[in-house]
Structure 1
Amino acid sequence: MAASTPADRAGDADDLSDIDLADTAFWARPPEDRHAAFARLRRRPPVFFAEADIGPIPAGPGFHALVRHADVVEASRTPQVFSSRPTAISIPDMPEEFGEFFGSMIGLDDPRHARLRRIVSRGFTPRMLAKLEDDVQRLAEQIVDDLVRTGPCDFVAEVAARLPLDVICEMMGVPADRRAMVFENASVILAGSDPDYLGHDIDAALTRMLTAGGDLAALLGELAAERRAAPTTDLTSALVRADIDGESLTDRELGSFFILLTVAGSETTRNAISHGLALLTGHPGQRELWWSDFEAHAGTAVEEIVRHSSPVIWMRRTLTRDHVMNGHAYRAGDKVVLYYASANRDEAVFADPDTFDITRSPNPHLGFGGPGPHFCLGAHLARREIGVMFRELHRRVPAIRSTAPPERLLSNFVNGIKSMPCAF
């Protein structure tokens, strides 16, 4: 049950006791129920939630849910108050090494965050980005070639998951025979509470996550050693050679960055593409509009898919000092969770927020994070991948549609789709 502050409880005309964002059962509800719950929370922010024990991890002090667009934006813009340390990716207080291992620079503040981002950005030069755009186009064409040849299939496995994974593996120089391993381990790390990936034993699930992360880091370690001996033109070579004012990435930092890149770069784009097909199938008028002039609507359509689906549901911050925001007093050490999925449907910012509208403009969604130092480094690439994938589908298989409701991932962190059949 949600635990509200005394001020929340006083004169409460809108009972929120049926909403508990800390309970796995809430995230098993149908999406429309969750969105309705967030709409109620936005009328009474912030709301405080108690944490439960998670296997070997004792219950934490609880967290404030930031559900309004304005609050998420302000917290994102003021990292000196809303810190990403000790972790941005876990509500429970895991060991700090856990957050850095799986979160890389998104779990850090300046100056360490700025240092890592500055070094990593050297791998995203205009020349590298131009090559990536060509790679995205070529890989999307190959995927649709295979789709046409094989016919109806699981859209997630055969289309949506393949493009971002192949792009990242080609970026990093991962051999083709290791890509299935990369996909499996990335899926395990972002499995949330889904028993299909992690089973029902919490201790075993945490061990499996650590093993998956270790396997990805070990793979990058092998590649880094090879590139130091014989550099190529891939991103791994650029990263192992990157040197800014005498600073370079350590092997541990390289491994953590690769985990971040494979997980954040492949899983979130995969889910945006999957949700995109489900949305176009469920909204035939929007599909007809986009298909009638693909290029005219491509930019706003991609942004609306990301807003409406919000592939990453939240990130955590921790207060470094006492602070007042939106009339509420937070204390040093308080946890807050930035719910992008709620902010992206805030009625104060988006007209008819539950409506899927490919012409929506402006569209200041937070699907790639809020403004500030942690805005997604790969946002441009993700937009490119989503747009190119739908362009190829429109060009080659314009009648493609999902033929059954998506099988959804049980997770409070990623709005994931595990499988979804398609036909054309």
Structure 2
Amino acid sequence: MDIDLADLAFWRKPLKERYEAFAQLRQLEHPVFFPEKRVPLLRSGQGFYALVRHADVVEASRNAKIFSSEPAVTNPEPPGWVKQVFGESMVNMDDPRHARLRRIVTRSFSPRMLQNLQGDIDAACRRIVDDVMAQGPRDFVAQVAARLPIHVICDMMNIPDELRAKVHEHVDISTAYTGLRPSLAHSVKMAGQNMLALFALQRMVIKLGHERMADPQGDLVSLLVTANPDGEKLTDKELGSFFSLLLVAGNETARNTMAHGVKLLTDHPAQRELLMSDYDAHINGAIEEMVRFVSPIMQFRRTVTEDYSLRGLELKKGDKVVLFYGSANRDESVFADPDDFDITRDTKPHVGFGGPGPHFCLGANLARQEMRAMFRELLTRLPEIRSVGEPELLVSNFDNSVRSQGFTF
């Protein structure tokens, strides 16, 4: 079988070919081990077992005690000094540290808090579509998909307007940095760019945090740096790390799904017609199907904490496994005709926001809220909107990102 998930060449292949490869892997009796090349200065090189079936991904997601998020969920794993300088991201923690941080930030994503954002989200969608109509169609990602999530996050945190261009720049650099590397020189260059952008942004939000502690303004930064009823709040490093996580994770899911979504609605006119026939009745199903079909974040890595038997595979303490969400979301044993785009299907089991368990995406409902509002605005005011040509995809084993997508209306 000529499949190597650890090789950059695999992730350069068209999506259709990759999905066909995962379909072959799902038919095998046990998860396959893929050795990795060791890259100097980085913690890669051990290799991993690929969890490609839905049941395996769900089992590993639920059992965080065995399948640990520490030391890191991405590939390559960051060197230890990065955590000392920048703090540790919540996604790279296990309980009880993870539970403490999630408990603090969860109140910022409560149904009441999200409902209070609806007016701002709707207004942002109107401004974005106003700009598109004034400028004409150029690139759907730059003009629409990339703008809304970052705009919402910056509004939630009350980031000053003059700093928002830097926020956009950091997200683009971080997205390009995530994933496999073609060479050591390229890895070092990208790592340096990412670290500088990350450091500047963390200093910015920490400064804002100090200002909001002295003068709380009811925004997300104020909420995170002032003590909750249990006396808990984020430290400077924790605030900086959470801001970086929110910018990347909170942005990429909605951005990627919207960018792929306009292409899906173009390529499947019957599904588009069904959605437009009764938007309120079908939009929730359409969004869940887009997330399942796209899997905007394609994988997370876990480290096995003790010997464990998974579907007859005897894993050893210290082994690495990778949860391939895109493959799990097309598992034939869970989703009938998984390669068909069907907004009426039952998508409840999908793992497009991560598998069930403590690391399920904290911002899933915010992403859904943003997409509902944006597609409503687009399909109401630009009912003839269509994608043009094929999307330009980021070469990554982590982020199913559309770099650009032509469109017309």
CA distance in 2, matches of 1:282, 1:320: 44
Distance 1:256 1:175 in 2: 19
CA gap 1:29/1:102 in 2 versus in 1, 3 angstroms: farther
> Which residue identity lines up with residue 90 of structure 2 in the other structure?
M
Q: Is the 8 A contact 2:202 2:240 kept in 1?
A: yes
1:376 to 2:361 alignment? yes
* Change in 2 beyond 3 A, CA 1:58/1:165: closer
**Alignment-derived partner of residue 33 in structure 1:** 17
2:149 equivalent in structure 1: 164
Which of the residues 159, 165, 178 maps onto 2:163?
A: 178
For 1:41, give the aligned amino acid: L
User: CA distance change for structure 1 residues 266 and 59 in 2, over 3 Å: closer, same or farther?
Assistant: closer
Aligned to 1:188: 173
Of residues 143-152 and 60-69 in structure 1, the stretch that sits farther from structure 2 once superposed is 143-152
Q: Indicate conservation of the 8 Å contact 1:48/1:63, yes or no.
A: yes
After TM superposition, give the deviation of residue 242 of structure 1 in Å. 3.0
Classify 1:199/1:174 alpha carbon distance in 2 versus 1 (closer, same or farther; 3 Å): farther
Give 1:4's aligned residue: none
Structure 1 residues 126 and 193, CA gap change in structure 2 (3 angstroms): closer
Deviations 1:252-304 (A, max 9, x none): 00000000000001122111100000111111121111112111111100000
Equivalent residue in structure 1 for 2:261, among 271, 276, 280:
276
Could you tell me which residue of structure 2 aligns to residue 355 of structure 1?
A: 340
Report the counterpart of residue 420 of structure 1 in structure 2.
Answer: 405
> Tell me, what secondary structure is at the counterpart of 2:89?
helix
Structure-1 separation of matches of 2:45 and 2:317: 15
- CA distance in 2 between counterparts of 1:96 and 1:58 reads 9
The 3 A distance-change label for structure 1 pair 299 and 193 is: closer
Q: How does 1:157-306 map to 2 (within 5 A)?
A: 157-192=142-177, 201-243=186-228, 245-306=230-291
Counterpart Cα distance in 1 of 2:179 and 2:47: 23
Q: Deviations over 1:165-192 (max 9, x none)?
A: 1000000111122112111111111214
CA distance in 2, matches of 1:195, 1:342: 18
Distance in structure 1 (CA, Å) of the matches to 2:180 and 2:161: 28
Q: Give the equivalent residue in structure 2 for 1:336.
A: 321
- SS in structure 2 at match of 1:315: strand
User: 1:409 aligned to 394, 397, 403, which one?
Assistant: 394
Q: Which amino acid aligns with 1:233?
A: G
Q: 1:22 matched to which residue of 2? A: 6
Matched residue, 1:12: none
Conserved 8 A contact 1:102-1:213: no
CA deviations on 1:138-180 (whole Å, 9 max, x unpaired) are 1111111111222212110010111101000000111122112
Structure-2 change in CA distance of 1:152 and 1:134 (3 Å): same
**Is 2:27 aligned against 1:43?**
yes
Q: Does the alignment pair 1:149 with 2:134?
A: yes
Offset of 1:37 from its aligned partner?
0.5
Structure 1 unaligned segments of length 5 or more: list them: 1-15
Q: How far is the alpha carbon of 1:193 from its aligned partner?
A: 6.5
Do 2:39 and 2:184's aligned partners in 1 also have CA atoms closer than 8 Å? no
CA distance in 1, matches of 2:219, 2:44: 44
Question: Cα RMSD over matched residues?
Answer: 2.0
1:398 to 378, 383, 389: 383
* SS of corresponding position for 2:355: coil
Return 5+ residue gaps in structure 2 as ranges.
none
Whether 1:94 aligns to 2:74 is no
Is 2:298–2:397's contact at 8 Å kept on the other side of the alignment? Answer: yes
Alignment partners' CA distance in 2, 1:192 and 1:32: 24
* 1:316–1:48 Cα change, 3 Å: same
Distance 2:43 2:154 in 1: 37
* TM-score, normalised via structure 1 length: 0.91
CA shift at 1:199, angstroms?
11
Q: Match for 1:145: what amino acid?
A: D
TM (normalized to structure 2)?
0.95
Contact 1:192 1:414 in 2 (8 A): no
Query: Against the structure 1 CA distance between its residues 103 and 148, is the aligned structure 2 distance closer, same or farther, given a 3 Å change threshold?
Result: farther
CA distance in 2 between partners of 1:334 and 1:303 (Å): 32
Question: 2:297 touches 2:400 (CA, 8 Å); kept in 1?
Answer: yes
| 8 Å CA contact 2:177, 2:190 repeated in 1 | no
Deviation of 1:56 after TM superposition, in Å, equals 3.1
